[in-house]
Structure 1
């Protein structure tokens, strides 16, 4: 039932919500969501729909990825997810952990790297254009190893 509502609201041809609504609700464009959905299903069987112990379909891949994105985008507590998507807290937390692990595995080489000077210069230019000139100093870069970082 929850899967059917999700599909009717966001994914079917005559869906209730538009592309812009999708972006506003999930903080991601639908085509990017569909790429994520495809990629995580290919790599991790957790994101494929399975039958439960009594032979009923379990949570759909769409539901699992949407739940993970909602929790990250809005810092949603699991009880609000339970009310909206019918998933109990332990399931929500498992989904989030699996999703985060698979995203890092899939995209770390492409997107997760220490910025070089060119990257920093580009960020600083954008920040200055938006009247936020010392923005880079407010970033949490503690996980980066630098040769001049204090060790004690």
Structure 2
């Protein structure tokens, strides 16, 4: 996985990374590093007999793939080499960390400036006074 997407000369280029992870590599790494700094669970550690545990990259990739593609936790075992229970724990901790780290900036209700900007965008596209997406109007 590291060689495929994260090495200095990855097997797959930027466009394939964006397709696979639904974001560019720099953003993925920014989120991963923020999560690792926020929650010690994501820091790679050694077990009681000295074996290295899963890396932050493995845990975040498992969580992200489950979110992005809806794949089950036991499907990720072959890809990131982690047990189903570990993938579920990684997902829960990842979501909690993302909300705690980025929630105030990105997961808030729109303020007046946001609403004005969104209304202007809608107006420029011929949808005057509309904030919602037309494909979500029921």
With normalisation by structure 2, the TM-score equals 0.83
Cα RMSD after superposing both structures: 2.3
1:74-124 deviations in Å (ceiling 9; x for gaps): 111112112322222111110001001111111111112111344345435
Distance 1:74 1:61 in 2: 20
The equivalent position to 2:107 in structure 1, one of 112, 117, 120, is 112
Partner of 1:54: 49
Partner of 2:60: 65
* Uncovered stretches (5+) of structure 2, i.e. residues with no partner: none
The secondary structure found in structure 2 opposite 1:136 is coil
With normalisation by structure 1, the TM-score equals 0.76
Partner of 1:136: 132
Distance 1:132 1:57 in 2: 55
CA contact (8 A) 1:124 1:136 kept: no
Distance 2:100 2:62 in 1: 19
Shift of 1:52: 2.0
* Uncovered stretches (5+) of structure 1, i.e. residues with no partner: 1-5, 140-152
Count of residue pairs brought into register by the alignment: 134
Give runs of aligned pairs for residues 26-37 of structure 1, distance below 5 A.
26-37=21-32
Distance 1:131 1:87 in 2: 49
